[in-house]
Amino acid sequence: MTAPPDDCLARNEWICGDYLSTRREILLDAVVQHLQLTSVSVLIGLALALPLAVLARRWGWAAGPVLAVTTILYTIPSLAMFSLLLPLYGLSATLVIAGLVLYSLTLLVRNILAGLRAVPEETRQAARGMGYGPIRILLAVELPLALPAAMAGLRIAMVSAVSLVTVGAIVGFGGLGNLIYSGMNTYFKAQVLTASVLCVVIAVAADLLLLGVQRLITPWTRART
């Protein structure tokens, strides 16, 4: 009777230290790509969501269409979204980023708009009485007071993007999703588990980092608590 191999890779175990040591560079490259795709897409989404939310706050009639369009985009399945964007961007990282940007808009616009709407009207009137113009009121009064709600939306969008990046593996740009996809095709247990755990670690770390930033830039919320 043949003895089982001593190598956990040969035994195809779920938990295998040899996989970590022998595939270190592959894992690092996948993590870096995952972080790049996530951060770039969320930052672009934030840059688009902020003016959309301000527009919806300034002109009430625009709020309905803006929220409706972004919500519809969020309901499109990820595979269908990438298929719709494929003729525009081809098989590229830009395709994945574009899809993630569209998905992040719903979470970001809705939360930023909620934060802006929560600013008391008497606060705006007091700022006008001090000679503040519309832009200065937005930058010095409304946006700072809307930060807690905006940061909450940013945290959700970031965690969501970390998860959705893996779907980009269907076009070869999925970060850790590439390893999960190839591992599932070859039933490589250690690769699937390791890449999946790293996705969770990235999501938790990103959420904690943004929570720390939120507490740092909104000290008045800590004082209130």
Domain ranges of the chain: 17-224
pLDDT of residue 48: 94
What secondary structure letter does DSSP report for 71?
H
- Phi, psi of 90, rounded to the nearest 5 degrees: 70, -170
pTM: 0.85
pLDDT of residue 223: 55
Going by pLDDT thresholds of 50, 70 and 90, the confidence category of residue 222 is: low
Q: pLDDT for 95-151, tens place per residue?
A: 999 999 999 998 999 999 988 888 888 888 888 888 888 888 888 888 888 888 899
pLDDT over 60 at 2, yes or no: no
Crossing angle of helices 24-58 and 189-217, rounded to 10°: 40
Q: What integer best gives the mean pLDDT of the chain?
A: 86
Percent above pLDDT 90 for the chain = 31
Check: CB of residue 43 under 8 Å from CB of residue 206: no
Going by pLDDT thresholds of 50, 70 and 90, the confidence category of residue 1 is: very low
Task: Single out the residue of 55, 16, 59 nearest to residue 183, CA to CA.
Answer: 16
Q: Which CATH number fits domain 17-224: 1.10.3470.10, 1.10.3720.10, 3.40.50.20, 2.40.50.140?
A: 1.10.3720.10
